[in-house]
Amino acid sequence: MRYKVDVMYDGSGFLGWQIQPDTRTVQFEIEKVLSSMHKNEVTIMASGRTDTGVHALNQVFHFDSTLNLNEQDWIKALNGQLPNDIHILNVTKTHDTFHARFDAVSKTYVYKLNVGAYDVFNRNYVYQYNRPVDIDAFRSILNIFMGCHDFTSFNKTPLETLENQVRKIEEIELKVVNQQISVIIKGDGFLRHMIRVLVGSAIATLEGKITKEVLKDALMNPNKQSIPYIVPGCGLYLKQVDYIE
């Protein structure tokens, strides 16, 4: 039986999602618990990887099991053994061909910036930008990325690994609460560090380091060396993964 799982995690204590030798990762912690329950190795497949320090409000993964547990028992058993920086939200039975990565039709990320005074207690959960931002100007810059573009200039995935780097940005929204800005971006898929480079290049444009024309040119004439700006991983959250029901 295949199960679809929704999970949230605090990424500040992990070297990302994917298993790596001699490091603490989210995938390692979850597979360790599942393998212990099954008495043999269990592999999980996520909708995508998150990098060091990046958080998830709702990541999705799937796994196969022969254990006869109902969905609530799965939640209770997993949360009872997982560390407290990982929490299972939901477990549902699904069809045997469901794939958490390949069946995803869109993802939504949130990037959080603190534009007020430095907050030591929130340092692992927002980018401490700590200066005022012109929201209308910020929104206007980010809207340059709306639509379908070749985002080769705006990510760190090597072209040798993935030649087609065309993606579609479906929605960009800014929310301001007190001294925190949330940049919400929904698209059909994202490349490595893409959200962080998009936000970083928009901030660089706000600061006058580059112009809107430079951003537009980087979209029209893709080049891995054209956009060097990137914001820290601590402000990034995977918010939602959508599937066709």
**Pairing relation of β-strands 236-243 and 55-64?**
parallel
In the residue annotation, 51 being an active-site residue is answered as: yes
Which residue among the candidates 6, 10, 22, 51 is catalytic per the annotation? 51
Give Cβ neighbours of residue 7 (< 8 Å, ≥ 6 apart): 26, 30, 56, 58, 59, 60, 61, 86, 87, 88, 89
Rounded distance between C-alpha atoms, residue 176 and residue 183, angstroms: 9
DSSP state of 120: G
Contact indicator for 122, 12 with CB cutoff of 8 Å: no
Rounded distance between C-alpha atoms, residue 4 and residue 59, angstroms: 11
Catalytic residues, by residue number, are 51
